[in-house]
Amino acid sequence: MIKYSYLLLLTFFSFTLATAQNDIQDNEINKKIDSIVSLLTLEEKVAMCHAQSKFSTKGVERLGIPEIWMSDGPHGVRAEISWDSWDYAGWTNDSITAFPALTCLAASFNPNLSAQFGKSIGEEALYREKDVLLGPGVNIYRTPLNGRNFEYLGEDPYLASKMVVPYIKNVQKNNVAACVKHFALNNQEHWRSTINVEVSDRALHEIYLPAFKAAVQDANVWAIMGAYNKFRGQYTTHHELLTKTILKGDWNFDGVVISDWSSAHNTMEAAVNGLDMEMGTGTDGLGTTTSNHYDYYYLASPFLKAIQNGDIEESVVDDKVRRILRLMFRTTLKPNRGFGSVNTEAHHDVARKVAQEGIVLLKNENNFFPIEDKEGITIAVIGENATRSMTAGGGSSELKPQFEISPLEGIKQRYKKAKIIHAMGYHTGPSVYDNIIPSTLNQDSLRVQAIETAKKADIVLYVGGLNKSHLQDCEGDDRQSYELSYNQEEFISELKAVNQNLGMLLVTGNAVETPWLSNVNGLIQTWYLGSMAGHAIADVVSGDVNPSGKLPFSFPKKLKDNGAHFYGELSYPGDGTNQYYKEDILVGYRWHDTKKIEPEFAFGYGLSYTNFSISDISTDKKKYSLEDTIKVSCSVNNLGNTDGSEVAQVYIGKQKSKVKRALKELKGFKKVTLKKGDSKTININIPINTLAYYNESISDWEVEKGEYTLYIGNASNSITKKIKVRIQ
């Protein structure tokens, strides 16, 4: 590891403490970068463009140029990894706060909370001396089988965009780079390294790119990670259209493009199509042969030789080095960078708050929830997920938290009067990335014990769903079935047969099929909630917190009701070589609405322990020019006896259009917190230019004039009022 002192850095870069302030202008930095590039040898420049270890790249010791250190972490800073292998380094001081997975953050529909999330995780990354945090993920939820959906922000590009921008801005306030991933069209794990995606330009620009574009243009993100898959025959990590033309050309991205680990495939394409830093190519360290050595990466010795031979201009590597140096000035070379903090009470509070606001109440027959803590009642908490760690596993997002409060532990700590009993019901065994180690416990005995436990209780809470094992919510492959695994449907029926007072806590990062829904009186979607999981779950189950989460993706009744699956295997998962996004722009609720296919639970849906109404809905006028902003005003009213929060949602559609359209698309939302009986008037502003569609005939955005319909409600299928407006 390079050792360097502040004295060396300050001498070389000609900064003094009096003048090196946080507001150094870009042009001053660019001049300094140019002067540095002129001092570097070609070999030194090339060495900065590829890994030297699992999670670091080289600096230049003779000039005091530091290494860059990265860490996985869309929802927590990963434990320290060994230099040359995927083994954990065994440190005792790398425990962190595990924040809820990003599906939960998206379900909060609260950008302010996303800002707190970003600030907190950025502070933890800074404390761990990381320069780049490899997250957040903004790939669009296209299929409920994608093993990595729990890391992303749902099915809607507008929601993902609005939630990712404050996250990025507040991570980077800590002088740690956010690295948005995976650019682009990485919407499944199955065959992720080989599948070639074919999708229209409209779907690309309207559905799959907006959150990345917002990250670049609205949040000024400092790094972007390439994806594994191909798009139109070319690998996306070094893609001429995506990376070179759109990202670095049209969007003027001035940061660093980092490969996913082993997602680079070609020296020439990597060089000329915009890859700046190559990580993980074919190596688990030095490997067993020289072919796996870091110097043999595509942007290593082959890159150097191509420049020396004149096949690639030296200006190509100079551009990469300039970007890398700019990243350093924003992070590791930032004066007065700070030290960060980890596992603070404030971070735990943020993790708990995100979990509370992201939890979604899906069913509440006869007010099953909340459950009162009172003497004389027995609550049976059933299920392996009541005690299983959900920060372990899942692939690169696995975490090493200082602690993790399980659902059972959280409920036990909250309920002081009621008697809490527990049984597992089944045991799945641990998962080691791409392999499940079978349980050695007797499954029949576990099932019998759980049924007997349920018989003894006044109330049964079944904690079921998925986990972060291979072929569930896990990197590396997709789920193989839309159903709950481990015969849970049958198990729920058995529990219902012995105790009618049955509710369920659904722990997943994905939608699941719910043929068992009629057997549970209440259903709460709890996600993967991190360190404070059990406390947040108990907060909602007990009624200390009124649930306010809204689904960031649709729950189809059947898998075929999902647009990606409707068209058969060529649409998902493909034929092993190619895959065609035949649903085009009709992703998620756009598909359900337009095709009139009723979902089990709709995008934007979520119940509360109180009742809300949205009234007095109006727009500021009925006719708009292209430069105008539609101003929607409405009153949100808490009609019940409990304080709570509601999310007003505005969708807009154009029925008589010259191009294919979804019935409606989310274009605005606002979360409102109200005391019982209170009302509040809110305004949601929608610039007319955000109604543009991508016109393939001109390869640009266009707002179509004519009549539009505004749909105002509290879910994509719960619309209170429709308003017609005209754009002229």
Return the sign of the alpha-carbon dihedral for residues 563, 226, 243, 689.
positive
Helices then strands (H, E): number in the chain? 18, 29
Q: Which amino acid is at 465?
A: G
Helix (H, G, I), strand (E, B) or coil at 457: coil
φ/ψ of 101, rounded to 5, equals -65, 160
Cβ–Cβ under 8 Å, residues 76 and 350: no
Q: What angle, rounded to 10 degrees, do the helices at 111-127 and 345-358 form?
A: 140
Measured distance CA(296)–CA(178) in Å, rounded: 28
d(CA 279, CA 389): 29
Q: Token pair of 316, please?
A: 């190509």
Element holding 357 (H helix, E strand): helix 345-358
Element (H, E) at 180: strand 177-183
- Please calculate the CA angle 476-581-477 and round it to the nearest 5 degrees: 10
Distance (Å) of CA 517 to CA 367, 492, 558: 16, 9, 13
The residues annotated as belonging to the active site are 260
Distance in angstroms between the alpha carbons of the first and the last residue of the chain = 62
Gap between the Cα atoms of 661 and 235, Å rounded: 30
Spatial contact of 583 and 567, defined as CB atoms under 8 Å apart: yes
**Lookup: tokens for 95:** 């425990």
DSSP-assigned letter for residue 238 = G
Tokens 């080095």 sit at which residue?
Answer: 321
Residues 6+ apart with CB under 8 A from 314: 42, 307
| CB atoms closer than 10 angstroms to residue 462 | 29
